[in-house]
Amino acid sequence: MRLRFTKYSLFIFALVVMALTGLQSAQSLSNQTMPAVLSYYRGYIDSLKACNLQLERETATADSGRLRDLFDQGRNYFKKIEFIVEYYYPATAARINGAPLLEAEPSEKMEPQHPKGYQVLEEVIYGPINEDTRKEIAFEVSNLNFAINKLEGMLPDIELNESQVLEALKLNIYRMIIKGISGFDNPVALNSIAEARSTLEGTLAVLACFRESGAVQASCREAIRFIANNGYDFNSFDRAIFISKYINPLCVAMYDYQDQQRIPFSSQQTAIAARAKHLFEQNAFDVLYFAPDGTAPLTQQQVALGRKLFYDTRLSVNNNRSCGTCHQPGRAFTDGLKLNESLLGSKKLLRNTPTLLNAAFQPSQFYDSRITFLEDQAHDVISNEAEMGGKVQQIAAQLDRDKAYKKLFRAAYGNQAVSPDLVKKALAAYVRSLISMNSPFDRYMRGDASAMTPQQVKGFNLFMGKAKCGTCHFIPLFTGAVAPLYQKIESEVLGVPANTDTVHAVMDNDSGKYLLYEIPHQLYAFKTTTVRNTALTAPYMHNGVFATLEEVVDFYNRGGGAGLGFELPNQTLSPDRLDLSAQEQKDLIAFIHALTDTTATR
């Protein structure tokens, strides 16, 4: 008996030793991963620094071709490490490759922060080279070198781990397909496809540092091979195939690898769920990310209550208007009017009624972005004398005396008295339920190649390429919400006309976002709204000036207000003509129709 016990004990001991040895081996491999990634990162900082120092030395003497070569080389070095810089040092990333747009705080509205970095440098280096522009180049290169030196100085303090590095890689792939291949951060040189290859080559090199990552590396190589086989021409590159057949499978492979290796997914709440397999998955976006802190997941009872309130005319001063009066489901929660009627006499409301579909995915509300959360938007509309004229305190008191409503409130929020806060929460809950992310485009990106027609696929490639729509309407939300973190939403100065007379064009006089804080560069700026469901939401623009999508596309094709002859120094839309042919315009509109999803309107 003792002999058997001893043998059994030895057997168990051997198993434990083997398990511990395997664990130590796996741990050893894991411990080798981050030093390898850090070494990779350090190497490309050195290359980036050397390249930009060379550009600094040659700025005064080199010809335009040499300057552009050095610029492109530096950009490609940055693309190899952009995932780390954006993830760990976002402020420095903005200094290196931020959008060339003015930013200003309301308290310092006359002292805007001027953009710096590659996108500013690109506009100069790809323009005429003369004595003055060489000085501009020298100034911007100096700013770049300062930022790169800062990255180098922070090297001793960086702490990488597998979970964060994989998350950073995934976010950077999203950044590449949303901003990169659309030309957003390379709008003049349009070397976007070559830079996408650099991003993927960097991704591959980092994935090679991870143990047992052969399958995901193979998927990354396939994406790189697609670029190599299809060329780097900005206008002709097939983004629809690239994303649906190569990038989405790569993201799924990365997800599967992380899951199989039991590398923890981020527990931090983000706009794109950490466990989303790819950007176009049905529930990739977390609606609660855009809600106030502490907002609980929606319940059927809250949504049902919010829906009843949405169509209740008692929320208005005269009991003759509800939220649903202007936001009609059959019109994708718009009203079909240029401007709706004001409650103040015979006046019209100031601006066109926007859709509420996917409004829950916006980091701010209204055309001027004056409100952050849907709860406050509900309060603003109800209490606005021109729109509904209600008093939320009185409305809550009235509803608290209604037995049917008290029952609904109790089911949704427990045994609480009906309050203004709960009224706003319920309305916001209903709007958060109005998610429309199952259009033919979405189904195409999820693998159904027949969901879009060939014409619509061409239109998507135009949207993301030659037409440059994707540089303002970021996929997959197709709004100005800045991907991939979605912490803010862009506003644009387009130069929208007051009417459709293009011969004697007159600019609309609505000052837009400027009315909030009187920040000069925000004069005539309006939030970039969604393109989703726009086939159902005519008329268009903040003033409802355009009755058809054809008119909208023609406006952009001309170069916006500049193309109509407006003197608008702060226009953020490129003033250049797009030169879309008649057929290309039709293809683009066909794609816009592929963004229609009425499931949330039923």
Q: Does residue 29 have a pLDDT over 50? A: no
Homologous superfamily of domain range 298-432: Cytochrome c-like domain (1.10.760.10)
Instruction: Please answer whether residues 442 and 596 qualify as being in contact, where contact means their C-beta atoms are separated by less than 8 angstroms.
Output: no
**Start-to-end CA span in the chain (Å):** 74
pLDDT level of residue 23 (50, 70, 90 thresholds)? very low
Query: What are the residue boundaries of the structural domains of the chain, listed by start?
Result: 30-160, 164-286, 298-432, 451-601
Decide whether 298-432 matches 451-601 in CATH topology: yes
Please provide residue 322's backbone torsions phi and psi, each rounded to the nearest 5 degrees: -120, 175
Does the domain formed by 451-601 have CATH 1.10.760.10?
Answer: yes
Q: Provide the whole-model pTM.
A: 0.93
Q: Does residue 18 have a pLDDT over 80? A: no
251-279, pLDDT tens digit by residue? 999 999 999 999 999 999 999 999 999 99
Q: Does residue 209 have a pLDDT over 90? A: yes
111-140, pLDDT tens digit by residue? 888 889 999 999 999 999 999 999 999 999
pLDDT level of residue 7 (50, 70, 90 thresholds)? very low
Q: What is the DSSP letter of 428?
A: H
Instruction: Please answer whether residues 372 and 365 qualify as being in contact, where contact means their C-beta atoms are separated by less than 8 angstroms.
Output: yes
Lowest mean pLDDT among 21-35, 141-155, 395-409, 521-535: 21-35
Mean pLDDT of 148-156: 97
Find, among 584, 550, 469, the residue nearest to 187 by Cα.
469
Q: Does residue 28 have a pLDDT over 70? A: no
CA angle 90, 481, 474 (to 5 degrees): 100
Look up residue 304 and give its two tokens: 């049902």
pLDDT level of residue 107 (50, 70, 90 thresholds)? confident
Look up residue 478 and give its two tokens: 């197709």
pLDDT of residue 12: 40
Instruction: Please answer whether residues 584 and 467 qualify as being in contact, where contact means their C-beta atoms are separated by less than 8 angstroms.
Output: yes
pLDDT of residue 30: 54
78-97, pLDDT tens digit by residue? 999 999 999 999 999 999 99
pLDDT of residue 97: 95
